Structure formats: C-alpha cells, structure tokens
Amino acid sequence: MARVLVDTSAVFALLDRGDTNHAAAVGTLERLKRRRIEPLLTNFIVAESHALALGRLSADVARRWLLTNVWPIERVAEDDESKAVTIIARYADKSFSYTDATTFAVMERLGIKTAFAFDPHFQQYGLQVL
C-alpha cells in the first residue's frame, strides 16, 4: 500500500473548520481514501499536532484527535534525529523546524516522496506535496 506522510499543517487544517485550508484538506483526505493511500504520522508530528490543537482550538479537540487517531505512527529514530541536524545545518537559508527536518529524514528512510502538507518547507526540501 502506498503511503503519504501527514504534516501538522494538514492535521490542523482537518481539525479547524475555520482554517483557510480546511476544505482542501478534507478533499485531499477523501482522495487518499479513494486511492487507498495510507496516511502516516511520526511521533513528533503527533506531539506537535496535539500541542497546536490544544493551544489554538481546545483541550477537548486535542484530546479527541489524540484518542481517536487511527493512522499509523512511525517513531523518529536516533539516526533520523542525527540526519535532521545535518539537514538544518545544510539548509541554513531555510527555516526548517526540528520536526520538519526529522520528518524529512523519516520520509527518506521509508522511501516516501509525498507529503500531505500546507507547509512550504516540504517543497523547499524537494518533496512532493498534495
């Protein structure tokens, strides 16, 4: 089964009906389901998404999302974290977060070339974005 990495920006757009990307996110998720493409999160994205929902939406929304998530979660490995530091150092002209960089490393390790994201950093790194 094909997989796509889901970024925090997409998770938040799905959760927040007032987000400017909400309709696009819902449409993209429906296309993924029809094409039987499996969404994948990292444990860092889970933590970041939960914190963002908690801070910008509510504790109830954040808790409900965390407790009902059915998407597989790939743990960021120690080697991914080392690679993330290298990515941040190499791309000094970019503002990649540590979570962004670990996500890029995980995607490379798993051979995933496409992200479900609204964050321009994925394209800046050379990845495809839905």
For residue 104, the domain's CATH number is 3.40.50.1010
SS3 31: helix
User: What is the reported pTM?
Assistant: 0.95
Q: What is the CA radius of gyration of the chain?
A: 14
Place of tokens 């970041």: 48
Q: Mark out the alpha helices in the chain (DSSP H runs).
A: 8-15, 22-34, 43-56, 59-68, 78-90, 98-110, 121-124
Contact, 40 vs 11, CB < 8 A? no
Supply the range of the domain harboring residue 91: 3-129
What is the number of structural domains in the chain?
1
Q: Give the pLDDT confidence of 59-111 residue by residue, as tens digits.
A: 999 999 999 999 999 999 999 999 999 999 999 999 999 999 999 999 999 99
- Confidence bin at 40 (pLDDT 50/70/90): very high
Mean pLDDT over all residues of the chain? 97
Is residue 102 within 8 A of residue 44, CB to CB? The reply is: yes
Q: What is the pLDDT of residue 88?
A: 98
Instruction: Give me the residues paired with residue 42 across strands.
Output: 74
Q: Determine the Cα–Cα distance for residues 66 and 30; give it in Å rounded to an integer.
A: 20
pLDDT at 1 over 90: no
